């Protein structure tokens, strides 16, 4: 079993940057980038494709996608 922490992709469309950071650092990294580069505006974010996939998995787990 691996003890390595999972990483999360972060993108900033305004800066044209993409990076991955450890899961435990996501909030701090986003806040630091957005504060330093975008006057606090939430421009950089977790990769939208990952957010969409996670939302789908949660909806599936909750049974929200079940057909009646």
pLDDT-derived band at 68, boundaries 50, 70, 90: low
Residue 1 has pLDDT above 90, yes or no: no
- Domain edges within the chain: 7-61
Residue 66 has pLDDT above 80, yes or no: no
- Report the pLDDT averaged over residues 21-38: 97
Cβ density class 45-60: b for 16+ within 10 Å, e for less = bbeeeeeeeeeeeeee
Percentage of the chain lying above the pLDDT 90 cut: 85
Torsion of CA 49, 55, 59, 60, to 10 degrees: 40
Average pLDDT taken over every residue of the chain: 92
């Amino acid at each position: 079993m691996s003890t390595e922490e999972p990483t999360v992709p972060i993108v900033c469309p305004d800066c044209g940057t993409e990076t991955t950071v450890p899961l435990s650092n996501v909030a701090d990294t986003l806040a630091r980038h957005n504060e330093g580069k975008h006057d606090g505006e939430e421009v950089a974010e977790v990769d939208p494709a990952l957010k969409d996939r996670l939302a789908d998995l949660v909806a599936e787990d909750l049974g929200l996608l079940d057909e009646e």
